[in-house]
């Protein structure tokens, strides 16, 4: 077991939980063998991230944890000139997205199936135009808070790789994680909260499609919060 550095250390214990879920269908298992290798990237610090894609892209966005891929695929289709990288270690989620991509290809979409920290560390400065962290695992137990994705050291790294004016989008249905995130992002000099009224964080923007997890939370009666922060300086 690796030691757990304090919150200030970037290489914290992994922030994701299980990697495997229900058994995959034969079709899904086949896509992991045939389609995934064509879409999977290997982050390299000396490589221009725009070269990951088979089409020319004018900007690069990163989605950290894409679940079943609904939101990621929507963004790729809505922004064909933007290159999107989705990082998701959960095999069932990757398989679900591959099933969609098998019939609706997205040449501006690439996948990474390990820890998103690898991508962030490899990216050059000021290379991202948008980052999505939507409904991450809140790790509600106090002893697990070190595994939350939003940490001050991680925000330092995101500030490094995000362009000035780039947007960080965060959503949660967990009040404890909401408070945790607001405390850290409000204290970080590299980000500014884009909220003037309560509606700015209670209402999901029109270019922010609902995810499967969000729909499940709403059906359960949970309150979802949508935060948007801009990279300032």
Domain boundaries, the chain: 27-231
Write down the architecture of domain 27-231 according to CATH.
Answer: 3-Layer(aba) Sandwich (3.40)
Q: What is the Cβ-side half-sphere exposure of residue 67, based on CA atoms within 13 angstroms?
A: 18
In the predicted model, is pLDDT for residue 184 greater than 70? yes
Among the residue ranges 6-10, 14-18, 45-49, 81-85, the one predicted with the least confidence is: 6-10
d(CA 176, CA 14) in angstroms, rounded, equals 20
Give the model's confidence band at 113: pLDDT under 50 very low, under 70 low, under 90 confident, else very high: very high
Distances (CA, A) of 100 to 7, 43, 70, 93, 106: 37, 24, 9, 11, 10
Q: Quick check: pTM over 0.85?
A: yes
At 137 the three-state DSSP class reads coil
- Is 137 noted as a catalytic residue in this protein? yes
Average per-residue pLDDT for the chain: 89
Exactly one of 137, 173, 174, 222 is catalytic; which is it?
A: 137
């Amino acid at each position: 077991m690796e030691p757990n550095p304090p919150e200030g250390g970037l290489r914290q214990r992994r922030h994701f939980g299980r990697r495997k879920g229900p058994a995959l269908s034969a079709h899904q298992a086949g896509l992991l063998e045939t389609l995934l290798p064509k879409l999977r990237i290997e982050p390299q610090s000396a490589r221009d991230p725009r070269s990951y894609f088979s089409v020319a892209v004018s900007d690069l966005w990163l989605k950290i944890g894409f679940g079943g891929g609904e939101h990621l695929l929507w963004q790729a289709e809505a922004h064909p000139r933007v290159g999107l990288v989705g990082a998701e270690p959960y095999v069932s989620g990757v398989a679900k997205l591959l099933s969609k991509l098998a019939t609706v290809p997205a040449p501006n979409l690439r996948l990474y199936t390990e820890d998103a920290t690898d991508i962030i560390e490899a990216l050059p400065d000021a290379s991202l135009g948008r980052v999505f962290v939507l409904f991450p695992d809140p790790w509600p137990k106090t002893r697990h808070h070190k595994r939350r994705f939003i940490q001050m050291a991680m925000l330092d790294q995101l500030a490094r790789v995000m362009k000035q004016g780039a947007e960080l989008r965060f959503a949660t249905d967990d009040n404890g994680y909401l408070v945790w995130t607001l405390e850290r992002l409000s204290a970080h000099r590299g980000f500014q909260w884009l909220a003037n009224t309560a509606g700015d964080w209670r209402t999901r923007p029109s270019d922010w499609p609902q995810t499967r997890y969000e729909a499940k939370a709403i059906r359960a009666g949970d309150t979802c919060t949508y935060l948007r922060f801009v990279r300032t300086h």
